[in-house]
Structure 1
Amino acid sequence: MRTFLVLFAVCLFLAPARNGFFDERCYRLKGRCVRSCQKNEELVGLCQKSQQCCLILQPCWKS
């Protein structure tokens, strides 16, 4: 029972750090964390609190 309590406490303290990692990764990709992506955006990752990391689509021009 003591082992379970220790593992629970460790997971409880690591959860905010893990969520911050996802947001930081999204901002590094120059994306933004929102509930759903717009039509001109694509999903490139996940953020905390069930949000999506969206990035504006760049048109590919033919040369």
Structure 2
Amino acid sequence: MTGSSLSPQELEQRLVEMGFVEGARVEILHEGTIRRDPIAVRVDTITIALRRSEAMAVIVE
């Protein structure tokens, strides 16, 4: 993972705390104009802004 000051384990824990869990509905709402960063994402009913490098840690099936 590049661009994050968090270890992979810390990033995973933070994403889980924000609601990125199995079965959650994830929708990209907006991408920033400069290098498409940050990204606004809706996770179930919560809107979250993430850096693109952090969003790359989320697997959507």
Report the TM-score, using the length of structure 1 for normalisation.
Answer: 0.29
Name the structure where strand makes up a greater proportion of residues.
2
Report the TM-score, using the length of structure 2 for normalisation.
Answer: 0.30
Give the greater-gyration-radius structure (CA): 1
Name the structure where helix makes up a greater proportion of residues.
1
Greater relative CO (CA pairs within 8 A, separation 6+): 2
